[in-house]
Structure 1
Amino acid sequence: MATKKESKPRFVKGHQLECQVCKNDTFWERETLMNTPGMTLFGIEWANKRAQNYICDHCGYVHWFLE
């Protein structure tokens, strides 16, 4: 299980993020690999796209952002 990192306000394209569920404004951050069956089959999961996640420090809702 990943350890919880620093919780703080986060910004996306210049706008402060607010939780869609509880309206909290502090989040911790992680990066998620977007695995696909084809890449997994060939053992090249590392080549999949990555998503940035901001997890609400209050309710745990995960906000996903792709490049």
Structure 2
Amino acid sequence: MARRGRRHKGPWLAQVGPHDLSCALCRGTLFWNREVQLNTAGMSLLNLDWANASALGLQCAGCSRLELFADSNQVRLSAPEEQP
């Protein structure tokens, strides 16, 4: 993820298992990543939002469509310059 001593901060190319990810809307291949909290009404009512599960969110850099992945271990992110 480094290029000339600098760390790549995104957007990223993404693979889910053996498949390259592309946006279902615009077919873009670059994504910004972030952790997304999966809040529930009951936990919010009790002020326990921090205890909810989280997912990996990938936002398309082209159209902003958001994809969520509950198992972030299945997703691999790489900098565009790392691709052959």
Specify if TM > 0.5. yes
Map of 1:23 onto structure 2:
27
Q: What is the alpha-carbon distance in structure 2 between the residues aligned to residue 63 and residue 57 of structure 1?
A: 12
Q: Identify the structure with the greater helix proportion.
A: 2
Query: CA-to-partner distance for each residue in 1:7-47, whole Å, 9 max, x for gaps?
Result: 02011123211000011111010111011111111111111
- Greater relative contact order (Cα 8 A, min sep 6): structure 1 or 2? 2
Which runs of structure 2 are paired with 1:48-67 in the superposition (5 Å)? 48-67=52-71
What is the number of equivalent residue pairs in this alignment?
63
Q: TM-score, normalised by structure 2?
A: 0.68
Q: Which runs of 5+ in 2 are unaligned?
A: 1-8, 72-84
Q: TM-score, normalised by structure 1?
A: 0.84
Runs ≥4 residues deviating over 6 A? none
Which runs of structure 2 are paired with 1:26-45 in the superposition (5 Å)? 26-45=30-49
